[in-house]
Amino acid sequence: MSYSSADLSIVIPTSGRWATLRVTLAALRGQTEQGFETIVVADGTDQRIPDLPDARVVAQQHAGPGAARNRGVAESARPLVLFIGDDMVPSSELVARHLARHRAEPSGEVAVLGRIVWHPSVARDRLHRWLEWSSALFDYRALEAQGAGEAGWARFYSSNVSLKRELLLVAGGFDPDFVFDYEDLDFGWRLGQHGMRLAYEPAAVAGHLHSYDWAAVERRYESRAGAERLMMAKHDWFEPWFRRQIEAAARQPRASRFWALAVDRVPRRPLRVRQAVEARANRHYLQRLAPSFLAAWRAAPGSPPVRPSTRREPGSPRAGRP
C-alpha cells in the first residue's frame, strides 16, 4: 500500500501545557507533507481549553495519557496513527519520514520509531546531560550503538512512534490502569505478542521541549516505582528495571559528587575510562534518588514484592526497560 498523508492521524494527549502544545502544533503546520489530521485529547475536563485551530480537540475525564491516546484513536478512522507528545516539537520532515518508512514497509506488523533529542531551548546542563547519556528517559544510545534497524518492542516510545491502526486495535490499545508511566512498555509488549516489528527511523526527529530540575526527576522516579509494581502485578515475566538499578546503587559505597562533575570532562575515548566514570556518576544520581523512590515503592498499593529472578523476556532488547 502506498500511504499518503491523508491516511495519517496524529494523536497528541495533553493536560494543561497549552503554551508548549502551541509550539508543537506550529511545527506540524510546517511539515513538508500536509494532509494529515491532528487530534488533541485534553486529559481532564476541569481545564480551560483554548482555541486550537490547527487541531480537532476532544476532552475526557482525567485518566492519563494512555487512555487519552485511546480516545484519540477512537476519534479517527485513518489507517495510520502517529503518536507524539505535546512537548515533542517535530522537525519539518518528521511526518514525511514516518510515511516514507511505512511506504517502504507496508506490512501491517511494521511500526516506526522516530528519534527524540533535546529541543534547542532546553539547557544542556549537567542534569539534562545525565538524563541523556544514562538513558534514564529514552534508550537511544544503546539502540544506535547496536546499529540495528529494528528497535524491539521495549522501545515503543509513544512520544514519537507510528503504526498501522489495524495492529493497534488487534493489540487492544493502551491499558488504562497505567495512569502515567509504563503504559508504553505494557502496550509495546502486547504489540510484540501480535508480531510487531518496530523499525527505527532516526531522521524522524522530535525535539523534547521539557526542562527538568531535580524535583521533577524525583517525581518521575516516584511515578516509575508505582508503575513498575503495577507491571509486576500484570506480567509474570517483568523484572523492575529501575528498582534493580536503585537498590544496587544503594548497596554500594557512597559515590562522591565529584564523579557527576568529572564525567563532563572525560572524553569518550578511551571507552573503558569513560564507562568507569559514567558508572560512578550514575551511582551518585541513583543514590540521591533512592530514598524517595523506595518510599514510593513501599507506598504503592496491592503489588507483589521484588522477585530474586533475573529472567528476561526472550527477544526483548532490555526487558523491563521503558
- 133 and 18 part of one domain: yes
Give the domain-ending residue among 212, 244, 259: 212
Residues 52, 222: Cα–Cα separation, whole Å: 33
Rounded Cα gap, residues 143 and 317, in angstroms: 9
**Average pLDDT, integer, range 59-66:** 95
In this prediction, residue 302 has a pLDDT band, given cuts at 50, 70 and 90, of low
Q: Do 195 and 293 share a domain, yes or no?
A: no
How much is the pLDDT for 309? 35
Instruction: State yes or no: cis peptide before 65, omega within 30 of 0.
Output: no
Shared domain check, 206 and 276: no
User: Is 307 contained in some domain?
Assistant: no
Of 182, 212, 242, at which residue does a domain stop? 212
Task: Identify whether residues 59 and 187 lie together within a single domain.
Answer: yes
Alpha-carbon 208 to chain mean position: 11
Query: Do 32 and 167 share a domain, yes or no?
Result: yes
Does 317 score more than 80 pLDDT? no
Full domain range(s) for residue 236 = 215-299
What is the predicted pLDDT for the residue at 271?
Answer: 85
Does residue 10 sit in the same domain as residue 137? yes
Q: Which of 113, 178, 195 is nearest to 148 (CA)?
A: 113
Structural domain contains residue 311: no
- The mean of the pLDDT values for the chain is 92
Which region among 89-93, 227-231, 311-315 has the lowest average model confidence (pLDDT)?
311-315
Write out the three cell numbers for 127.
542534569
* Domain assignment of residue 135, yes or no: yes
Whether 125 has a pLDDT exceeding 80, the answer reads: yes
- Predicted pLDDT at 315: 37
| Total number of domains constituting the chain | 2
pLDDT of residue 301: 74
Statement to judge: residues 100 and 68 lie in one domain: yes
Asked whether residue 321 carries a pLDDT value surpassing 60, the answer given is no
Better-predicted residue by pLDDT, 178 or 269: 178
Shared domain check, 275 and 153: no
**Residue 310 pLDDT level (bands cut at 50, 70, 90):** very low
CA distance 264 to 62: 41
